[in-house]
Structure 1
Amino acid sequence: MPPPSDIVKVAIEWPGANAQLIEMDQVWARLSAPVIKSPHDNSFFVFLQKRALPSIIREVCDGWSLSGSEQFALRYADGPQLYITEQSRGEIKNGTILRLAISPARAARQLLERIQSHGIDARLEALKELAKLSADPTFAAEFINMEGIGTLARLVESGTHGSLVSCSFGEMLAFTLTAFLELMDHGIVSWDLISLSFIKQIAGYVNQPMVDVSILQRSLAILESMVLNSHSLYHRVAQEITVGQLIGHLQVSNQEIQTYAIALINALFLKAPEDRRQEEYTNPLEQHLTEMASTLAQKHLRSIILNHIIRGNRPIKAEMAHQLYVLQVLTFNLLEERMMTKMDPNDQAQRDVIFELRRIAFDGENDPTATEKRKAMYTKDYKMLGFTNHVNPAMDFTQTPPGMLAVDNMLYLAKVHQDTYIRIVLENSSREDKHECPFGRCAIELTRMLCEILQVGELREYSSRASAPVLLTHSCIHYVTICNHRTSSHFIISVLQLKSFSFFSFLANEGCNDYHPMFFTHDRAWEEFFCVCIQLLNKTWKEMRATAEDFNKVMQVVREQITRALVMKPSSLDQLKNKLRGLSYSEILRLRQSERMSQDDFQSPPIIELRERIQPEILELIKQQRLNRLCEGSCFRKLGNRRRQEKFWFCRLSLNHKVLHYGDLDESPQGEVPFELLSDKIPISDIKSVVTGKDCPHMKEKSALKQNKEVLELAFSVLYDPDETLNFVAPNKYEYCIWTDGLCALLGREMGSDLTRSDLDTLISMEMKLRLLDLENITIPEAPPPVPKEPSSYNFSYNY
């Protein structure tokens, strides 16, 4: 008879003693009179009733003759070694190895006493142990209740660690800052309670030219958390750190330091008041970070990022790419205000911009006589400029988007690339009316298109609806992302009970690394990008010999040209021009035809019938490939805190396709992980279903992740008996498709991922082409040839 589903078998260790093997119920109920077997030498307890955790600990202590069971607790023996609580005991799996340890309260009290001792070696060991234990929410709550964070803050403020030259003092400070950051990231204590002297001390470590790398990393991370989690601390930090000081950290060879520095820049940029973001300053290196938004457009900071990071000697890691993406998005979001601002037809200053566009195009040098002569021709000039409203062109800019942003782009082209602007306008005005390219209309529509392609302002929509904008830092996100193993559920709830926060989806998503290097190569990259694209539009219009009726068709072709070029990630604007040159209208037609042929080549009934016969064979081939990949296994990262050492877990299918094996890893594996190292398993026969996206339990429970579209698209869960789940967030779309397909195949269900459809089309197309090689250049009829009538007699047959 199989054991009850709410009973798990675990081993419990104690230093210097044999392990005890016990059966533990996962659901708590306070009942009496347990049935207990002998607890000696690899023996075990069998709890036939539901028992409270203290009762289980008491019996374990009795087995080793330990008194004072209330001073002990159970922890995991491997991995993060978190404490077991009543809330988290349900996550214990069969075969788990636990360890009897001193209770969190006792450990917190002992560490606090040792930290305040006078012995350097004792204090160093205590801080080292504290840095490790602080990631545990149960311990953190106890330590914080004993005013532990205040003690750590006073150690930093008083400069007790002495000169950083000393190896011991440097180590002590690094462990102190690590523990402080881990404890604060639990969200139990408000960042608003941090004192100004503590901020000055941390800022001092960032400003020092020679400081230990680990201290610098943690100092930058603490400042980032302060900025993102407290509006008042943002202003204090911004007054302590200048751009010039952070630029120095961008020029080092350590990419992790560069990443933390850019993360702090992004945080300050994000929290900067709107009015500060739009102002311009003259000396960027001496200004404080409250003016960070305008500094980002300055040549010095941009060139440092370009030369020391993007074009550096080291490949850009995923986290750095993510921070560059965030920086790119934040920079483009500066355009949102102009994009959503309508032109006021009654505002003379705004109308003067249109007059300037007309003057540059038609008046040449500022000749008053020529200007007077052309006043009567303004309506004609505005028509030649391509505005829809020839009498009052200001009305063309009353729609948002693109609003005034289109005016800005046109004026930049007219002033900075004057020859190009005049050539485009005059070239089109000299064409026949039906073939002229309306510059004004094209520029407005192109600006709207570029805003859509680069998602200007789109990633700010959710945050603008938040009632009390407080942005979670990376560390807090750690506790609201998927954490399938050994995470205290009551702590997740405490984090989610933080006051309302603004959540930028791209800040949480570790997969968003889609930055474009070319936008870091020019101080006015957006405007230059527009100038390249408007010339492309004019060229494509000529190649298509388009008329006014073809306007939308031309814009569709131009959008395709731009998006195809951006996919190739040009490293500079000049390289973008070369890519676009290769994507002429004729090339777009060729690409479209090639892609269409791959879909339409085999549409005749005989080919369709052959395709239907082949499809089951191909689907079986795809199924075997998916199952083979599941047997190889995949490593999944526990998303969240980017500052902590990354945590991984691995999952793979048994070779007989009957069991899923999984378990935690200390680091990303190189190749396959042996089954012996994967302690947990799920029989395939126990799996009830596979759910994806918003239907996943870990997506429903964590409201922050619901808003993160990218994470939502990579999430899936295995539901198995009895009401248990194994939650995944795939590292990328490919792994997501592989695993969802493979799990569906194991359950006998249809594989419906995008990858399956793509593989199916590709393989069937290849197989069809191979089988039809002998019919090349032969037209396959729509219907089979007619069967001739029966002969009048069969006398022609021979009798033998």
Structure 2
Amino acid sequence: MDQADIPSLLSRLNSDEDAMRKMAVFKLQSSINDPAFADLFISSGGLTILRRLIMSTGGNTLAYSLQSLTRLLEVDMGWEIFESSGSGELVERVVELIVTHPLVNILRGAMSILVAIVSHSQSDSGASMRTPGAFGFRALKPAVAVFPQFFEMVVSQLNSADHALCANALMLLNALMRDAISSEKDGPKTGGTVEEWPKFIKRLQDLGVIKAVYVLMQSSALQDLAHPLLEFQALTKVLLKKWRDVNVDLERPEHRRALKGIHLASAPEKKDKESTVNGTRTEELAEGGSGNARKGSRKHNPEKWRRLGFETESPAWEFDPTGFLGMMDLTDYVRKEEDNFQKMLLEQSTRPLHERCPIATASLACTAILYEHFEVEKSDVEDAKSYLVLDGMKNYDKIFRPLLLQWSRLHTASLHAFFRLWKSTGAEREDFDKVAELVRILIDQVVGLAPRTKDMLEIEEELSEFEYSRLREMQMELLELSFEDEWGQHLHQVRDELKHEALQFVKEQRIRCLLSGAWFPRTTLKPTIENPRPWRYIKLSHNRRYLHYADFDTQTTQNPTLDALLDKIDLSTISSVISNVSATDESSSISSTSTLKTTSHSHAPPQSTTKITINTTVEGGERAILTLMPATHSLASEWLDGLLMLLNQTPITAETNRLVGLVGEYGLKIRLLNVRMGEGEGYAEGRGVVPSREGLDEDYFYEV
């Protein structure tokens, strides 16, 4: 619309005919977002006419009027309409429309205007305004007092099938939350107080905001609601951080009540009564103890807080790392899980002090783990929006974290997982950090890898059923990856060293099998006149230079001594050891002993197809000087590789190589577990510097 047409437009907007007004305001909404047009419209008295239309019309005329004002505010113009006389009635009219009007197009426009009013106090231009109470939530308070169902109606629109209306409702709630949080900084000058924002947030939570947004975040409507949902997610982090930053101060009544509630939920009376009945530690009567106690005889329980899992009897400072957020989580847990809390305390009280799971400390650890997992400190919504624009819908699962809105249930499920891992690992107090690390890995695995649409009930089930063995495997993988990144070449060097050490360890084990001796069947046939002695016993000499052997009619109960083994082979004369044992045979299992387990005094040797041949060099080639026929794969592996390693050759059986790998991996894991995750990231100042010997003499000793 041409600027020259503005007088004609204003005339039609002032018309008594609804049809003419409707057409004029319809054209206005499409032109008013042009700053030049808007400036002339305002200077010509258009705001007064627009205000009159909003106050007195209905239907589409009202909807177009609301839309026109919205677009005017979007170009940061027309704010004086809320600073002039009668602005309170205008705000009240818009609030009334939200509470009472059923038409979607009117509701959308009304909410957009309120979003602008509330948000303007948070902008630079809004902060410079001189009219107190014209913007922010304060501007809505008088109208909300007239229509107290306002918040309930706004929250209900989060369930609307109209995505634009739903988005506007969420934007309004976001603006109100952000204004409530920011008003704390302004203090009494603007009517904000430290206590107001928690009460306001709780009021919205009680109306079901979190549940409604959680459903939206898991829905298919993300494309239309992406920005307000991301802002709500960011605001959730802001709130969590604010609660974390509030120090627990027992001078504040609400903090004192919360801590007292934790104590009362532990059923201290039951413990007092039990102590009195059993006649043990009667000095541990808690405050408000057994009703049977005489007045004036109640004493302070010396373990009042430590029995709940705190480290000391002055627990306020223990909340420092998690602030009031940690107290909220613990209070919420004991309130919702009071029976489990009391059962857990009773169960732990039967254990020695060092074996008890510190419930309160575990709760605070779970709060810290979740805080770190969701990266609460990183709450800049603009970065998330940019990420969304660049990457589109395919990354919705990465950007949106609906489980963040299930903080309380996640905390409870994490705490139950902590208790389960503590019990299954037989942990003690000194193992607390190790259990906490397992819970951290569990949260990263179950919560971190959960798709956006995964149901919370499934998350809780996985956290309660995740196997400890899998967690340990993941822990080792993470440790290896961490040290691979930090140490690189050094880790490869450690692996090589450990492989060599493992090979030497297994070599000694195999040779000890030879030193212990073993029975071998000489043939698979039954004894005959030509073969009267079907059993052969072989043993390595103590000096590891000779193989002694002899043939016997039966396996004796007591193994023969070296003196009874009249034949022997000098190891230095052995040229080769060959066998039909497969190097890739996976059917064998590692044996704990090399002794052939058969019935004593057996006359019939077991069937065997495995053969180990020991050769010596003769003129023209080699000849066999001893043949072994081990009856089991384990025995074959022990003796074949034992002989090869005794001759400084490489073992070849799958069983021995598997054992070498197993020992090497355990060695690596032990070394990794003995090094903290942070090590390798740099040295503290002064580390690695050789101290000066100035002023020292040679009078020193080693402490062993």
Q: Judging changes above 3 Å, is the alpha-carbon distance between structure 1 residues 178 and 299 closer, same or farther for their aligned structure 2 residues?
A: closer
Larger mean Cα displacement after TM superposition, 327-336 or 231-240:
327-336
Distance between the aligned counterparts of 2:272 and 2:457, measured in 1? 29
Alignment correspondent of 2:333: 413
Query: Which of the pair is proportionally richer in helix?
Result: 2
Alignment correspondent of 1:138: 36
Matched, 1:270 2:270: no
Does the Cα contact within 8 Å between 2:98 and 2:107 map onto a contact in 1? yes
Distance between the aligned counterparts of 1:227 and 1:377, measured in 2? 51
Matched, 1:204 2:96: yes
Q: Judging changes above 3 Å, is the alpha-carbon distance between structure 1 residues 299 and 130 closer, same or farther for their aligned structure 2 residues?
A: closer
Match of 2:361 among 427, 437, 441: 441
Q: Judging changes above 3 Å, is the alpha-carbon distance between structure 1 residues 300 and 550 closer, same or farther for their aligned structure 2 residues?
A: closer
Alignment correspondent of 1:528: 409
Does the Cα contact within 8 Å between 1:137 and 1:186 map onto a contact in 2? yes
Distance between the aligned counterparts of 2:115 and 2:365, measured in 1? 39
Q: Amino acid of the residue matched to residue 198 of structure 1? A: L
**Superposition map of 1:701-712 within 5 A:** none
**Superposition map of 1:487-636 within 5 A:** 511=388, 516-517=401-402, 526-567=407-448, 568=450, 569=452, 571-581=454-464, 583-591=466-474
**Superposition map of 1:767-778 within 5 A:** none
Q: Judging changes above 3 Å, is the alpha-carbon distance between structure 1 residues 123 and 550 closer, same or farther for their aligned structure 2 residues?
A: same
Match of 2:302 among 376, 379, 386: 379
Alignment correspondent of 1:188: 77
TM-aligned CA deviation for residue 554 of structure 1: 2.9
> What is the SS of the residue equivalent to 2:205?
coil
Q: Amino acid of the residue matched to residue 458 of structure 2? A: Q
Matched, 1:344 2:250: yes
Distance between the aligned counterparts of 2:89 and 2:344, measured in 1? 60
Q: Deviations over 1:486-521 (max 9, x none)?
A: xxxxxxxxxxxxxxxxxx75897784975554576x
Alignment correspondent of 2:185: none
Match of 1:221 among 89, 93, 112: 112
Match of 1:403 among 323, 328, 338: 323
Q: Alpha carbon RMSD of aligned pairs, Å? A: 4.6
Q: Judging changes above 3 Å, is the alpha-carbon distance between structure 1 residues 505 and 364 closer, same or farther for their aligned structure 2 residues?
A: farther
Match of 1:179 among 51, 54, 68: 68
Q: Judging changes above 3 Å, is the alpha-carbon distance between structure 1 residues 254 and 337 closer, same or farther for their aligned structure 2 residues?
A: same
TM-score (norm: length of structure 2): 0.51
Does the Cα contact within 8 Å between 1:436 and 1:547 map onto a contact in 2? yes
Does the Cα contact within 8 Å between 1:518 and 1:570 map onto a contact in 2? no
Q: Judging changes above 3 Å, is the alpha-carbon distance between structure 1 residues 322 and 379 closer, same or farther for their aligned structure 2 residues?
A: farther
Alignment correspondent of 1:64: none
Q: Amino acid of the residue matched to residue 357 of structure 2? A: C
Does the Cα contact within 8 Å between 1:386 and 1:441 map onto a contact in 2? yes
Q: Judging changes above 3 Å, is the alpha-carbon distance between structure 1 residues 598 and 328 closer, same or farther for their aligned structure 2 residues?
A: closer
Q: Amino acid of the residue matched to residue 202 of structure 1? A: V
Distance between the aligned counterparts of 2:480 and 2:195, measured in 1? 53
> What is the SS of the residue equivalent to 2:195?
helix
Does the Cα contact within 8 Å between 1:177 and 1:218 map onto a contact in 2? yes
Match of 2:25 among 105, 115, 127: 127
Q: Amino acid of the residue matched to residue 31 of structure 2? A: L
Distance between the aligned counterparts of 1:382 and 1:456, measured in 2? 29
Matched, 1:316 2:221: yes
**Superposition map of 1:228-307 within 5 A:** 228-229=119-120, 230-231=135-136, 232-239=138-145, 240=147, 242-272=150-180, 273=192, 274-279=194-199, 292-298=200-206
Does the Cα contact within 8 Å between 2:174 and 2:232 map onto a contact in 1? yes
Q: Amino acid of the residue matched to residue 187 of structure 1? A: D
TM-aligned CA deviation for residue 125 of structure 1: 4.5
Distance between the aligned counterparts of 2:432 and 2:262, measured in 1? 23
Greater Rg over alpha carbons, structure: 2
Q: Deviations over 1:33-78 (max 9, x none)?
A: xxxxxxxxxxxxxxxxxxxxxxxxxxxxxxxxxxxxxxxxxxxxxx
Alignment correspondent of 1:711: none
Does the Cα contact within 8 Å between 1:135 and 1:182 map onto a contact in 2? yes
Distance between the aligned counterparts of 1:342 and 1:598, measured in 2? 38
**Superposition map of 1:747-758 within 5 A:** none
TM-aligned CA deviation for residue 139 of structure 1: 2.6
Q: Deviations over 1:53-105 (max 9, x none)?
A: xxxxxxxxxxxxxxxxxxxxxxxxxxxxxxxxxxxxxxxxxxxxxxxx95xx4
Does the Cα contact within 8 Å between 2:230 and 2:400 map onto a contact in 1? yes
TM-aligned CA deviation for residue 304 of structure 1: 5.9
Alignment correspondent of 2:632: none
Distance between the aligned counterparts of 1:560 and 1:361, measured in 2? 38
Does the Cα contact within 8 Å between 1:149 and 1:183 map onto a contact in 2? no
TM-aligned CA deviation for residue 260 of structure 1: 1.6
> What is the SS of the residue equivalent to 1:297?
helix
Distance between the aligned counterparts of 1:458 and 1:360, measured in 2? 41
Aligned residues: 434
Q: Judging changes above 3 Å, is the alpha-carbon distance between structure 1 residues 256 and 346 closer, same or farther for their aligned structure 2 residues?
A: closer
Distance between the aligned counterparts of 1:419 and 1:237, measured in 2? 45
Q: Amino acid of the residue matched to residue 374 of structure 1? A: E
TM-aligned CA deviation for residue 222 of structure 1: 0.8
TM-score (norm: length of structure 1): 0.46
Q: Judging changes above 3 Å, is the alpha-carbon distance between structure 1 residues 454 and 106 closer, same or farther for their aligned structure 2 residues?
A: same
Query: What fraction of aligned residue pairs are identical, expressed as a percent?
Result: 19
Q: Judging changes above 3 Å, is the alpha-carbon distance between structure 1 residues 198 and 357 closer, same or farther for their aligned structure 2 residues?
A: closer
Distance between the aligned counterparts of 2:250 and 2:106, measured in 1? 53
**Superposition map of 1:446-457 within 5 A:** 446-454=366-374
Alignment correspondent of 1:797: none
Q: Judging changes above 3 Å, is the alpha-carbon distance between structure 1 residues 406 and 123 closer, same or farther for their aligned structure 2 residues?
A: closer
Does the Cα contact within 8 Å between 2:421 and 2:435 map onto a contact in 1? yes
Q: Deviations over 1:688-713 (max 9, x none)?
A: xxxxxxxxxxxxxxxxxxxxxxxxxx
TM-aligned CA deviation for residue 447 of structure 1: 2.5
**Superposition map of 1:601-750 within 5 A:** none
Higher relative contact order (CA 8 A, sep 6+): 1
Q: Deviations over 1:770-795 (max 9, x none)?
A: xxxxxx9999xxxxxxxxxxxxxxxx
Q: Amino acid of the residue matched to residue 320 of structure 1? A: L
Q: Amino acid of the residue matched to residue 217 of structure 1? A: R
Q: Amino acid of the residue matched to residue 449 of structure 1? A: I
TM-aligned CA deviation for residue 267 of structure 1: 2.5
TM-aligned CA deviation for residue 315 of structure 1: 1.7
Q: Judging changes above 3 Å, is the alpha-carbon distance between structure 1 residues 595 and 387 closer, same or farther for their aligned structure 2 residues?
A: closer
Distance between the aligned counterparts of 1:407 and 1:366, measured in 2? 28
Distance between the aligned counterparts of 2:272 and 2:232, measured in 1? 40
> What is the SS of the residue equivalent to 1:379?
coil
> What is the SS of the residue equivalent to 2:301?
helix
TM-aligned CA deviation for residue 436 of structure 1: 3.9
